[in-house]
Chain A
């Protein structure tokens, strides 16, 4: 049974984007602060700190999660994915390319969280309607774009995947 006293800083070991890492945290440390301040992950964007804005959204053991509503201690032994898990060898994923093409971001503060939820959402629902895409995006706040570019970007990715799916495997 994992136990950490309030003033104790304990080693938290977990898998970050496929690599094992360790950091130190006391129980009250939020996962967002742990990842950003202790481990230097600047892709963790902290917005509202009460789970409303969605900027800090990451994946924990495959499930979409609000980093600011999670404590570092809770991820001991877990698998964490941040937006850096999406690109491969420095090349942007289809979703990221589509975001760029459709101006689905301006200042970019909300973008890492939105990309993480969208990629998870498309795994569960590979062929969403526009309404379903908008409902999913309602879990995020973006003050620049008006969301239209994001909807178009997601629709384009869905379309690309559908077309590729129809091709025989190479």
Chain B
């Protein structure tokens, strides 16, 4: 329950951080809040040679409301985004989903960029980002690039981020008029990893639903505004297509049932909100 040894480095400027990544590449793990990473280091599931602490790069801590999207700097704490007074209006989905992230005690230091980069399949922020069709900015000494959420997370805690790159910002598209948003999840206890998390954006004639905690990454599907039996059938098909597996928390069958039942409930809630 103690981590393996590593070198600690704490840059204060982005350029310094990118130089370190460029020279040490695979040896480096980036730490911000450390809420997920240090637990994994304590279990020795992760043994980096270099731990680069980026929370002193102050230029990465910001929230910017653009016309199209809310841009959040990588080291912005989840608590700060959740407490932002414009969040409920600009992104009702984040306002509904983020209280499910861990606890009051972990959101205080857990960061938005950290959660996206860690890309746990049960995490709320990657799921919201996928449903909102947002994007991630990656920087390296080679330059910066913007990657859409669906291309960023490729699997279980695996992303398109290259070894010399780091996440510098996350872009959450702002709520569109006429679209309703809803979020809910089932956990053993509040704050635990989701057995099944559902996020929905619905308009009068479209349903866009994302599922977390079942497949190896957040998975999104879009339908026309189905209802009744048609919706049940679509949800059933989606539930099977996710290929959820049995684990210590729940059976695959239970997960499929959650996709059907919780999915329907969250879709109806989102549709209520768009009226």
Q: Do A and B bind each other?
A: yes
Q: Which residues of A contact B102 (CB under 8 A)?
A: 139
Task: Give chain A interface residues in 100-152, CB to chain B under 8 Å.
Answer: 117, 120-121, 124, 135-136, 138-140
Q: Which residues of A contact B109 (CB under 8 A)?
A: 60, 63-66
* Contact status A66-B53, CB under 8 Å: no
**Is the C-beta of A51 less than 8 angstroms from some C-beta in chain B?**
yes
Q: How far is the CA of A64 from the CA of B107 in the complex (A)?
A: 9
**Is the C-beta of A1 less than 8 angstroms from some C-beta in chain B?**
yes
- Can you name the residue of chain A whose Cβ is closest to the Cβ of B3? A28
Q: Which of B35-43, B175-183, B218-226, B243-251 is found at the contact surface with chain A?
A: B35-43
Taking A50-B39, A50-B43 as contacts, is the C-beta distance between A26 and B9 under 8 angstroms? no
Q: How far is the CA of A164 from the CA of B223 in the complex (A)?
A: 56
**Is the C-beta of A167 less than 8 angstroms from some C-beta in chain B?**
no
- Can you name the residue of chain A whose Cβ is closest to the Cβ of B1? A49
* Per-position binary interface string of chain A over residues 45-81, scored 1 when its CB falls under 8 Å from any chain B CB and 0 otherwise: 0000111001001001001111011110110000000
**Is the C-beta of A160 less than 8 angstroms from some C-beta in chain B?**
no
For the A-B complex, the count of residue pairs with Cβ-Cβ distances under 8 Å equals: 109
**Is the C-beta of B108 less than 8 angstroms from some C-beta in chain A?**
yes
Contact of A139 among B9, B39, B42, B191 (CB under 8 A): B191
The secondary-structure label for the interface of chain A is: mixed
Q: How far is the CA of A140 from the CA of B11 in the complex (A)?
A: 33
Q: How large is the interface on B (under 10, 10 to 19, 20 to 34, 35 or more residues)?
A: 35 or more
Q: Which residues of A contact B43 (CB under 8 A)?
A: 50
Q: Which residues of B contact A28 (CB under 8 A)?
A: 2-6
Task: Give chain A interface residues in 31-50, CB to chain B under 8 Å.
Answer: 33, 49-50
Q: How far is the CA of A165 from the CA of B16 in the complex (A)?
A: 49
Contact of B12 among A1, A49, A138 (CB under 8 A): A1
Binding site for A on B (CB under 8 A): 1-12, 16, 31, 34-35, 38-39, 42-43, 51, 53, 55, 77, 79, 83, 99, 102-106, 108-109, 189-191
